[in-house]
């Protein structure tokens, strides 16, 4: 009987420890920044380069949009961010002063404008 009580105490202690660790992980001070990059028609832009820059610390994170034009920066420190996006055939886009708070996901969608490139003309004399 005493052997069974020790096993039960061991199992209960393990469960209590597991619950405490899970609780600590849930109390993260970090949030996330996510968004969708689209063209002027609202179509997703896959493969766009996205930069999240903390305006206070100058910490930079780089990423890329997925096939649906979505980007996610998990766990950046809380603060004010600038999101800069570039992609071929589009003018660069930027959203400034994105406020990220602890344990919150900030959304910053960016719509890029098309760039029309006109070939250089030769001067005729």
**Using one digit for the tens of pLDDT, what is the confidence trace for 86-114?**
999 999 999 999 999 999 999 999 999 99
Domain ranges of the chain: 30-111
CATH top class, domain 30-111: mainly beta
Strands (DSSP E) along the chain, which ranges?
Answer: 32-38, 49-54, 60-64, 70-74, 79-86, 93-100, 105-107, 110-111
Q: What is the pLDDT of residues 61-85, one digit of tens each?
A: 999 999 999 999 999 999 999 999 9
Residue with tokens 């832009």: 45
């Amino acid at each position: 009987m005493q052997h069974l009580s020790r096993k039960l105490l061991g199992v209960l202690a393990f469960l209590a420890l597991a619950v405490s660790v899970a609780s600590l992980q849930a109390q993260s001070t970090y949030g996330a920044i996510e968004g969708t990059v689209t063209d002027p028609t609202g179509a997703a832009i896959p493969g766009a380069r996205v930069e999240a820059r903390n305006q206070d610390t100058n910490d930079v994170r780089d990423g890329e949009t997925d096939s649906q034009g979505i980007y996610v920066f998990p766990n950046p420190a809380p603060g004010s961010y600038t999101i800069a996006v570039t992609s071929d055939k589009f003018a660069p886009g930027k959203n400034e002063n994105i406020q990220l708070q602890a344990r919150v996901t900030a959304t910053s969608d960016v719509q890029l404008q098309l760039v029309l490139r006109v070939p250089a003309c030769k001067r005729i004399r």
